Structure 1
Amino acid sequence: MKSVTEYKEYREYVLDYYRERKRCSAFTWREFARLAGFASGSYLKLVCDGKTRLREEGAKKTALAMGLAGFELDYFVLMVRYENAKTDQEKKKCFEEIQALGDANRVKILGSEMYTFYETWKHSVVRELAVAMPGAKPNEIAKVCKHAISASDVSESLRFLVKTGFLTRDIKGNYHQANVSLSTGNLNVVAVAVHSLLRQMGEFALDALDKLPISERHFSGITMGVTEESYAKVVHEIAAFRKHIVSMVANDINPKKICRLNVQFFPLTEDLT
């Protein structure tokens, strides 16, 4: 069975643990619940089915019942705490604790690189500029950014991007992208960082609306009434549109500037029926 640190969801780990024990013995959900100290014999099954959830004390008891100790026990409890967090800020704080735990124990945390990449606008912009400005020094990259970033921030970002494979560097010192476009995949830990990035980019959009001439930015919007069916169709069309835009610019050589495209579609009212 995989180490607990290779899991992104605690329910998945608990279910795999149960299946592994069941494969080797006559292990039951009732026995599992008894070992963890739960009165209901079906409690952990309900947890794995998504019908209820573990709370922190229950997480510790379940971890001990599965033989977890030390930092693995702490990791499992943090996974539960992350899942139960109600706000992005709470989730962010919790995942940073998970990262710190992994660093302290020299353990790679699933999704850690993607989380760090999307947590700030700097990495995505530096990743594009490093390729578009071959041979440029960090201070030169910093100077072309419309929003404040220091040369040391650029240097730190470049080290991170190379270390994690978002960029490669050839023998001449020029940077290249292993993949032109990136996907967040299905890691729910990344979603929190993406929310942070979207907020930053939203603020930059407002800044551009106030400071840039119309010839250098494009803003438009539509207010409309939709059904659930048409909402789903619009979301599908937006996804297809984004892919089409990426394909249009993917092979561009020597770009003139780095731009950001924000696509937003959200309700302005509560449900009317």
Structure 2
Amino acid sequence: MKSIFEYRDYHLYLQDYYDERKRQGSFSWREFCGNAGFSSPNFLKLVAMGQSKLSKVKACQVAKSMGLVDYEEQYFYQLVVLGNAENSEVQRAALLEMQRIALEHQVRVVDKEAFQYYESWKYPVIRELAPLMPGATPRDLAEECKEYVSAEEVRDVLEFLVKAGFLKKEGEKNYVQTEQTVIGSKDALPIAIRAMHKEMAIMAARAVDRYTANERFFNGATLSVDQDAYNKIVEEIKACCKKAVAIANECGNYNQVCRINFQFFPLTDKITGNGRA
């Protein structure tokens, strides 16, 4: 599904969200309405079809039901204002606010041409670290990384990040990010993204012994679920991740680069009444 910043019609966004959830598994307009707090089982379907309107009061709870948090929720609210506007002044104000939110919280969607970004942990880490250390040499940056990386590798990573537009060079050794947040598109070569997940999982395992309990956080639960519960939990994890990114974006005094891993995976085969599914 496209980034919410690519939408100018909240009816279309609701329809695309529904279609995406439906594609992933069991999902209905009744469930969508229930999650958003509506008693009518088809109200949001009528809204998506343009046959009804979503009030500003209900916009925020609908946004939350879709896992939108912080600036995404704000943007969706303005989409509703724009879609319901009855005069050009209100439309203009909503569009300006949408533009402000989008610019203030710039999000870079990595497409398949920039898949190299996902080939190694070095790219996202150096992208975050370099702006924190103005004037630092590649060796300085390498020495701050917990995982081993050579100064030559850091130099190559910096060159790629600048060339691909992830960083902008200001002066001889100063770098700034071109966008606050980087996310992967569904076309951004899943194999490369899979390799990144493997690397980060290995680094997380090492972190258990490398850091004290007050320097890292690990938690987990073993659950029995069906497909419907699985899909709901996945959506909750996505919303939590978005919230974490929003909190980090609001931080005004960065001094460290960290990683969050969300992992939810099977420990057994699917079981039916007679054995395996």
TM-score, structure 2 as length reference: 0.56
Question: Measured at CA, do residues 251 and 127 of structure 1 come closer, stay the same or move farther in structure 2, by a change above 3 Å?
Answer: same
Deviation of the 1:143 alpha carbon: 0.4
Residue pair 2:114, 2:164 contacting (<8 A) in 1 also: no
Tell me the equivalent position of 2:185.
185
Tell me the equivalent position of 1:257.
256
Deviation of the 1:111 alpha carbon: 4.6
Tell me the equivalent position of 1:115.
115
Partner deviation per Cα, 1:6-64 (whole Å, 9 max, x = no partner): xxxxxxxxxxxxxxxxxxxxxxxxxxxxxxxxxxxxxxxxxxxxxxxxxxxxxxxxxxx
The size of the alignment, in residue pairs, is 163
Residue pair 1:138, 1:152 contacting (<8 A) in 2 also: yes
More strand by share: 2
Deviation of the 1:253 alpha carbon: 3.0
Report SS of the residue matched to 1:176.
strand
Deviation of the 1:215 alpha carbon: 1.2
Distance 1:191 1:253 in 2: 33
Tell me the equivalent position of 1:153.
153
Residue pair 1:113, 1:164 contacting (<8 A) in 2 also: no
Distance 1:177 1:163 in 2: 13
Report SS of the residue matched to 1:183.
strand
Residue pair 1:120, 1:197 contacting (<8 A) in 2 also: yes
Distance 1:203 1:170 in 2: 34
Residue pair 2:119, 2:193 contacting (<8 A) in 1 also: yes
Tell me the equivalent position of 2:204.
205
TM-score, structure 1 as length reference: 0.57
Tell me the equivalent position of 1:243.
242
Report SS of the residue matched to 1:215.
coil
Partner deviation per Cα, 1:170-194 (whole Å, 9 max, x = no partner): 246421111111121121x521111
Distance 2:253 2:161 in 1: 20
Distance 2:219 2:124 in 1: 24
Residue pair 2:111, 2:184 contacting (<8 A) in 1 also: no
Deviation of the 1:256 alpha carbon: 2.1
Larger Rg: 1
Residue pair 1:130, 1:136 contacting (<8 A) in 2 also: yes
Deviation of the 1:249 alpha carbon: 0.6
Question: Measured at CA, do residues 180 and 168 of structure 1 come closer, stay the same or move farther in structure 2, by a change above 3 Å?
Answer: same
User: Percent of aligned positions with the same letter in both sequences?
Assistant: 38
The CA RMSD over aligned residues, in Å, is 1.6
Residue pair 1:129, 1:258 contacting (<8 A) in 2 also: yes
Runs of 5+ in structure 2 lacking a partner? Answer: 1-109, 273-277
- Larger relative contact order (Cα-Cα within 8 Å, sequence gap ≥ 6): 2
Tell me the equivalent position of 1:230.
229
